[in-house]
Structure 1
């Protein structure tokens, strides 16, 4: 019975954080009169995105309430990405297509492309999105207005995650679970601590002047998880960052199945939980709250822990607008998340590089 009470205590921690974070998570509204005098540069790094880029551009160009430009950096694509963008640019002068220069030593591909995009941008605000993101029409205006009104230098949100396969359902929901259930303050701007910063690299808006002052992507050139690294950089330099409700702002289908999702999350894990000191603690926290109770049934505290965790997952799923059918898979989602983290740590231990879209990056995570 003692172990069952421990699982209930471990379940109570994310439940408390989750309730507070869900209540405090800002939902943005577009300014009633628009945002005259502002130009939001929507910046899209693209490598082998022929299946995504046209829909991404169409959504970005549908932005209203603020003037936008859309700049695409073709980063050595081996498909028809560049040709698609070039064709659309002939019909809309707001689109610009750039070609990324060769990747310098010490840089990761997306970070380098984002840095070059920022240099070419003309806007007062830089809105970095991935090619698989579809912006809502009011997203750019709402984000820029919120940032200016609250004095926030960097704003981010997790887009509504679309999932079309079991493999995605077993991996993608862990993003919002960890952000809302385990991060004190949930990335809100009222805390300035760099170690409590958070961001989603799929959707990031930066004040241009502040971005340049902190060194931009050039200051985090070696990372793969650019959103988190940028948020920590901004806060370390004394600037405010905030995570807002991203579900009304954009949608994204990150991966096409389990294989892609596994590779993508393993790539980023080494800059998050997958550290020699941190991962054992995370394993106790996550398995104790979400997995152990099932082994301790029918003890009443274990039942209470299970109900608490399923209620938390249901609340996060509702707020994030994720598919309801993923909720019963919750224990498996946590199990897969831990397997991804331990795999990433094992790859670091043996010096195996992380690969993504034809590039390999050395295992540099050491703490």
Structure 2
């Protein structure tokens, strides 16, 4: 078992080293002449709406852009605050209640896309309200997609974490793909199994999105961003995740209760069912728990395996400007992740998100 853990972690380290060296990063800023539509679905985002709209209005190098705020039946003052912006670049839409079986955010995005379908737009940018954007974020993201001749790109925002549980869990998001997917290979030879897509900040060619079936193709998926990327691949289009830490940042959760709620709604659907969840459990135990336990007795291979998996975390953290010292707690992160996976499965029939049952 120790040998298997050592070999696995050596492989993960090799993949991480390759990705660290070859990870796509944003190109330099330049003027974007193409028309851009920014879709901002919001539900109960009163704390974020003013900031995000000001950041979007301040975007540089965009010659022709519009901001479509899609109010998804907010129960707070989100719509009121948004309506106070009088910029001609902002359009506020009030989305109807989600269709039966549809996820609320996806339904709102689909409504927004349909409302602007008659107005030509070269690029669709889908973003979340809790993401903070640098002034050149969107123009650099589009320029990168153009330089790489890609139909979609996913600039991965820097994940801000303050509390201990945030610091233990949130870095696993980027680490999970940095250590397991050869990104350049996934870019050159797209496959559904290697799609990395983050709906927090997603850049898409409008025609490619429409030809892929639009947001309607992912109407019932909690992990709509990953499934949307797979829809692109099925339609023959190409895309890739890039380092977005220079462009955007987000603090997804601010407490362990929010972490449980957020991961509780999605983890049981993230790995394709029970077999996938068991495989991920084995993966985390073999790569993180076994090396720690056997290293306590001085086993050299276990120590080497533990060092290798921590090194993967350090490379991932460095590439995203995250805390390096937290990487040494990776076995604890793995245990906490497994708890969240169990929690998600045990509560899968009673998942609530923003006041809705999913």
Q: TM-score range by the shorter chain?
A: over 0.9
Note the C-alpha offset of 1:347.
3.8
C-alpha distance after superposition, 1:310-362 (max 9, x if no partner): 121111111111233432332211111222223323344xxx1421001112x
C-alpha distance after superposition, 1:244-279 (max 9, x if no partner): 111112111101111111211121213322621112
SS of the aligned residue for 1:71 comes to: strand
Aligned positions of 1:187-266 closer than 5 A:
188-266=186-264
Deviates more, 1:323-332 or 1:308-317: 323-332
**Runs of 4+ in structure 1 over 6 Å off:** none
* Aligned length, in residue pairs: 352
In structure 2, what is the equivalent of residue 12 of structure 1?
Answer: 10
Counterparts of 1:130 and 1:163, CA distance in 2: 17
In structure 2, what is the equivalent of residue 290 of structure 1?
Answer: 288
Counterparts of 1:345 and 1:21, CA distance in 2: 31
Q: Does 1:120 align with 2:118?
A: no
Note the C-alpha offset of 1:106.
1.7
Counterparts of 1:126 and 1:245, CA distance in 2: 19
Deviates more, 1:272-281 or 1:251-260: 272-281
Q: Does 1:60 align with 2:50?
A: no
In structure 1, what is the equivalent of residue 328 of structure 2?
Answer: 328
Counterparts of 1:41 and 1:208, CA distance in 2: 9
| Cα 1:84/1:187, change in 2 over 3 Å | farther
C-alpha distance after superposition, 1:204-260 (max 9, x if no partner): 111001111111110110011111000001001111121111111211110111111
State the TM-score, normalized to the length of structure 1: 0.91
C-alpha distance after superposition, 1:187-211 (max 9, x if no partner): 8421211221110111111100111
Structure 2 stretches of 5 or more lacking a match?
Answer: none
1:178 to 170, 176, 188: 176
SS of the aligned residue for 2:265 comes to: helix
In structure 2, what is the equivalent of residue 365 of structure 1?
Answer: none
RMSD: 1.7
State the TM-score, normalized to the length of structure 2: 0.93
In structure 2, what is the equivalent of residue 51 of structure 1?
Answer: 47
Question: Does the 8 Å CA contact 1:188/1:243 hold for their aligned counterparts?
Answer: no
In structure 1, what is the equivalent of residue 150 of structure 2?
Answer: 152
In structure 2, what is the equivalent of residue 271 of structure 1?
Answer: 269
1:107 to 98, 102, 122: 102
